[in-house]
Structure formats: structure tokens, C-alpha cells
Amino acid sequence: MMTCVRLCGRSTCAVLLVAALLVLTAAPAGALTVVDMLGREVKLAGPPRRIVSLVPSATELIYALGGEDRLVGRTDFCDYPPAAKDKPSVGGMVSPSLETIATLKPDLVIATTSGNRLETFTRLEQLGIAVYAVHAQRIAEMLDVTRRLAELTGRQAALGPLISGLESRLFAVANAVRPYPRPRVLYVLWPEPLLVPASRALLTELIGLAGGDSITANERGDYPRFSIEAAVARAPEVILLASHSGSGAPPIAKDKWERLVSLPAVKNKRVHAIDGNLAHRYGPRVVDGVETLARAIHPEAFR
């Protein structure tokens, strides 16, 4: 979850560009110019028919929209839905194989400002391959990414039902947890060094939607290092330990936290493991993540 390059650090970038949602501007000989989420003009010979995704979240959204027929390549981390694994892999997010990408002859590469290097953007453009940047640190921005990908894949008809379904489920969670007090929540993204969601992290918003108050919500950045001492001082009432299935990393050990017997979360047996794949990506499963978080934070709301 480390940020490799941030071309636009403010979470409001996408919101400011909503009015320009993928406006397709006709150019000579059928060419198009699209505006990505950094405000960059991306010139295309026509509607993209061959897309390589370097963003697992974008890959999930493309499948959710039914636009996977245009997806010709993905990263090793684009592992959901399972059918995505049938697409050719171009390697990792940080250092994808530019040669492999070039052999796939994409009309467009979807990249991200968190996870892909600036060098990747530059080298692809030097090879004459168009790069479209996406990013999301809030639910509203995730929906913005969804709208843009619907335009790029020609799946506008699927957009309304998909967004309506996601929004209705979020509304249901908000209604379920609203009557209850909001407990203090510590979310452990990684154990050593201890990494937590901070003010700019999508997870911080998800915890709030699930009816909790993250004790690290006011920390600066996305996923900063944190200390055990600071966590203990803030007395979390719920501790959520992220698992990273598919990454090869073992589950975060609960016993280390359960030894901190002075914590309200430990006293009340409220230390839980959470599937990080649901909450860390801003794809359609992020709503599954909110539902999972809500059940862990407010089990009384879902009996």
C-alpha cells in the first residue's frame, strides 16, 4: 500500500473534474481526446478497443461493467474476478514489463498515481502508448472512476444499474449502524512496521461509513507508520487486523494484540481479522468491505 508516485495529492482532484467526465472531443480523422483524472489530455486514434490495466481496482470495475472484452492485459495483482487471471499478465504494478505491454498493442493503458512509477508513465508515452491516469481516495472518486471506465469501454448502459446497486447497499449499511454509538477503531494495515489508514486513506472513510471512528483518522498522509504506544494511548474499542490473501503474506498475529489486556478492544474480545482485499481496493468489492467492517464494528446491528 506504499505510494510510489503521487502526481496529484489532493483527494478533491476528481471531484473538481466531474464536470469534465471523459468528455470525448472529436478531432480530425476520427481521433479523440479524453481528459484523465489528473486533467491531462490523452489523445487516442479512436475509442479504445485494446486496454491494458495496471490497476487492480480498475480491472475489477471493467469486469463489473462487462467491458472485459476490451481488456487485453493486466498485472499480477489483478486477480479478481478469477476470470481476470486468464488475461495476459504484464508483471507487477511497480515495474511492469514495457516490452510485454508493447507486444499486446494496446490503444490505452490504465495506470494509477498510487502504485505505478512516474517512469512507467513516461516510458509508455515515449513508446507512443497512451496512458490514462485514475485514482480514488473517497467513495465519490471511486464512482467517478467507474463512470470514466464505462465511457472508455463503451459500457455506459451498465453504469446506472452498477452504481445504483452499490449506492443502495451503502445506504443500507448507514441505516443499520446509525442508531448505535460509534466505537474507537484501530485498523492495522500491516504489523511491522505498523501501518495504519490516515486522513487521505479510503479506509478511513469506509470505517466511518461502517459506524466507527478511526483513531488514526487525523494522521497525515495515506498509510503512515504508527507506534504501538500511540495505539495503546488512544484506547481502541475495536481492533481490525487486515489479511492479505494472495500476496503470500501470513495473517497478522492476533496474540500480539491480545496481550495488551488494558485495551477495551481486548477486554471485550473485539479483535477481528478482516479480508483486506475487500477494503483496500476501490473496486466494486469496496461495498463488500464496508459491509464486513460494519459487521465487525456493530455486530448488534446485523443479528
CATH number of residue 241's parent domain: 3.40.50.1980
Sequence-separated contacts (24+) of 147-150 with Cβ below 8 Å: 147/21, 147/22, 148/21, 148/22, 148/36, 148/37, 149/58, 149/61, 149/62, 149/65, 149/67, 149/110, 150/65, 150/67
Cα 220 to the chain's mean position, in Å? 19
Instruction: Please indicate, yes or no, whether residues 201 and 145 belong to a single structural domain of this protein.
Output: no
The β-bridge relationship of strands 238-243 and 184-188 is parallel
Asked whether residue 167 is assigned to any structural domain, the reply reads no
Residue whose cell numbers read 469496496 = 286
Asked whether residue 88 is assigned to any structural domain, the reply reads yes
> What's residue 38's pLDDT?
93
> What's residue 22's pLDDT?
40
> CA-CA distance, 155 to 147, in Å (whole number)?
9
> What's residue 244's pLDDT?
76
Instruction: Please indicate, yes or no, whether residues 43 and 135 belong to a single structural domain of this protein.
Output: yes
Asked whether residue 171 is assigned to any structural domain, the reply reads no
> What's residue 277's pLDDT?
87
Asked whether residue 6 is assigned to any structural domain, the reply reads no
Asked whether residue 170 is assigned to any structural domain, the reply reads no
> What's residue 245's pLDDT?
62
Q: What's the domain range around 237?
A: 179-302
Instruction: Please indicate, yes or no, whether residues 21 and 150 belong to a single structural domain of this protein.
Output: yes
> CA-CA distance, 133 to 232, in Å (whole number)?
39
Instruction: Please indicate, yes or no, whether residues 296 and 243 belong to a single structural domain of this protein.
Output: yes
Asked whether residue 35 is assigned to any structural domain, the reply reads yes
> CA-CA distance, 195 to 197, in Å (whole number)?
7
What global pTM score does this model have?
0.85
Instruction: Please indicate, yes or no, whether residues 99 and 208 belong to a single structural domain of this protein.
Output: no
- Cβ neighbourhood burial of 64 (10 Å; 0-12, 13-18, 19+): buried
Residue 16 has φ and ψ, to the nearest 5°, of: -65, -20
> What's residue 176's pLDDT?
97
Instruction: Please indicate, yes or no, whether residues 135 and 18 belong to a single structural domain of this protein.
Output: yes
Instruction: Please indicate, yes or no, whether residues 196 and 275 belong to a single structural domain of this protein.
Output: yes
Asked whether residue 165 is assigned to any structural domain, the reply reads no
What letter represents residue 89's amino acid? Answer: S
Instruction: Please indicate, yes or no, whether residues 190 and 264 belong to a single structural domain of this protein.
Output: yes
Q: Give the sign of the dihedral formed by CA 17, CA 19, CA 23, CA 27.
A: negative
User: Which of 154, 169, 198 is at the close of a domain?
Assistant: 154
Instruction: Please indicate, yes or no, whether residues 191 and 291 belong to a single structural domain of this protein.
Output: yes
> CA-CA distance, 198 to 221, in Å (whole number)?
6
Instruction: Please indicate, yes or no, whether residues 148 and 191 belong to a single structural domain of this protein.
Output: no
Instruction: Please indicate, yes or no, whether residues 30 and 150 belong to a single structural domain of this protein.
Output: yes
- Three-class SS state of 38: coil
What letter represents residue 166's amino acid? Answer: L
Helices (H), 117-155: 118-126, 139-153
Kindly report the number of other CB atoms within 10 A of residue 99's CB atom. 10
> What's residue 256's pLDDT?
87
List the chain residues with pLDDT less than 70.
Answer: 1-30, 245-251
Instruction: Please indicate, yes or no, whether residues 130 and 241 belong to a single structural domain of this protein.
Output: no
> What's residue 148's pLDDT?
97
Q: How many structural domains compose the chain?
A: 2
Asked whether residue 52 is assigned to any structural domain, the reply reads yes
